[in-house]
Amino acid sequence: MISASKWIAGALVVALTSLAHADDADSRRDDDSFLLLRDAVRQDDAAKADFYAARLPNYSIPSYVDYYRLKSRLKDVPQSEIRDFFKRYDGQAIVDRLRNDWLLDLGRKRDWATFDEQYPLFVLNDDTQVKCYALTARALKGQKVADEARALLTAPSVYGEPCAGLIATLYQNGQFNTEDLYAQLRLSGEYNATGQARRIVALLDGPEKKAVQAVDLPTVAVAKGMGPSKVEHQIYIVAIGRLAKTSVKLATLALNKALPKMTPQEQQQGWAAIALQSSYTLAPETTDYWKRSNGAPLSIDQAQWKARIALRNGDWRLVENTIRAMPAALRGEPTWVYWLGRALMARDGVTSQPTGEALQLFRSISDQSNYYGQLALEETGKLITIPTAGAPISQAEIVPIAANPNFQRALKFFSMRLRFEGTREWNWGLRGLSEREHLAAAEFARQNNILDRMVNTSERTRIQVDYTQRFPSPHNDVMHPATQTLGLDKAWVYGLIRQESRFIMDAQSHAGASGLMQVMPSTGRWIAKKIGLTDFAQEMLSDVRTNILLGTNYLNMVLGNMDGSQVLATAAYNAGPGRLRTWRATLTKPMDSTVFIESIPYVETRTYVKNVMSNATYYAALFEGRPQSLKARLGNVAPKGYTEAEEQETSFVPR
């Protein structure tokens, strides 16, 4: 017989288990309601938002429920409710998020007194439109803000009404002149910003319909010819640039026809518009277009592409001059600090140790653990090594991190696959932490298998560093045999995964790529068939073993098609082999890979290749335990079918 005490104990276990299951079910139901609340607010459905919020009186993250409740009716909510929210949740990330929303609403309402009170409290201050409202408020008080506005107003696609209003305010009070507006009009053409182009032309009392046509229907606009006024000349230049996006040849014919009616500066601006679009094709005629544009004021993209085409031509004097003419903020970016140093070396005929200004430039960025920092370090005569790690993080150091409400909220959001909210809470929790605490937070992320946060958090330290956190190698039991069988460089594969997915196993791209190696379903099916994986199903891409198996086999095939060049294969993995073949076909002889990478037409692929190759160099240093050379890893790239004998006869650009 079962004793009474044993029976009672068993009953308690069953009861407690049932309660736990009930709690889990309640929690899942609440999470579902929260997700529906979030969607309702995104759809601007205040009634639905109130309905779902009412179902969450005891939600584990009440601040977000209250935030969404306010967000859904922000235009009409009394200020007292917003201020009460700020008091109740003071110090939380969501307060800064609501303040961001409120500042935009205050700007729309032109409530500058409240805006000026709240703006200094906006901690992140990372919203371009809020910054535009802040400059508008200052300009209306008579403050000079034109230079700050010019530095801010570089991407019309994110302007919206706030930045359009700022431009109008500055023009009307005399801080912006017609040349500022013409520059913004040309920039609108570059960014395909029809609405912004129309607004600028309206300020200039020009034909708005022509401005819209120049951006949206450039063939029609060009066919109608150039009008007589100066603003119509600028509209025509926009149309020329837009037409060049689809046909450089037609744009060139149209510009040549209009040249007699244009001023010298307008001619230069027209050629600059064509040169930018031609640069993306890497066509040999591009060099001539940039020569004809000489003297034109250049946009940020135009200045950078003028420098990149000069790099491809080995015209180091032009590289130097173009970089020195860039705005200070752009010139100070690591990209152009490095290339100015290279240009100075080439100008002076230096092929080994740099001196003078070039050495100073390299040293100024050589402590940065990125692609340009690594290259600059090598130019100073040093190789890439892994810094010695400090004392291991103890569990006692992780305890306060685990107890931090910001990180607790982050874990909750990550468990719901709300990575945007989780990342915001996580980053907010890092504010004010010491370097040692950053490493502890990174270790806490590792313990919870949130490896992207581990990497990002650890990368923020400068003195105390742990490169096993920055460059993790999970799933090595799968990766090692896969790469060994194929003869692939494991450091390179891990470098690619770090860039592709940051080790998020369920990562999904907007294009549908899945898993660690971001394999597209169609690619997965093709590779599975190639290697004899007969039972492949799309869902298998989220399985670690299958994803690595298919991803490494595909990468190996791409590498073979690119003659063993990691640089070319990396670019092809991101942009597709077809595009890479097109870019490679522009080569007539071997090219320094750093120059080739710098002139990849797609910004995403250009950044991707730099990061993957930088990552691979660090992984190699970790795996092999010895110094590495990124320059040696990059080497040169050559045209398809270029023989070793031809390569040896080629005189390379001085390094």
Residues designated catalytic = 500
In angstroms, the CA 194 to CA 239 distance is: 11
Separation CA 236–CA 255 (nearest Å): 9
Q: Which residues contact residue 329 at a Cβ distance below 8 angstroms, ignoring those fewer than 6 apart?
A: 151
Cα–Cα dist 572/579, whole Å: 7
| Amino acid letter, residue 362 | F
Residues 6+ apart with CB under 8 A from 632: none
43 token code pair: 């759809």
Are the beta carbons of 452 and 434 closer than 8 angstroms?
A: no
Query: Cα(440)–Cα(434) distance, rounded to whole angstroms?
Result: 10
Q: Distance (Å, rounded) from C-alpha 564 to C-alpha 579?
A: 17
Nearest to 94 by CA among 81, 85, 83: 85
DSSP letter (8 states) at residue 209: H
For residue 71, the SS3 value is helix
Cβ(574)–Cβ(605) below 8 Å: yes
Q: What is the rounded distance in angstroms from the CA atom of residue 260 to the CA atom of residue 134?
A: 44
Single-letter amino acid, residue 136: T
Look at the block and give the residue holding tokens 């967000």: 71
**Token pair for 42:** 């995104």
Distance between CA atoms of residues 444 and 436, nearest Å? 12
d(CA 406, CA 427): 9
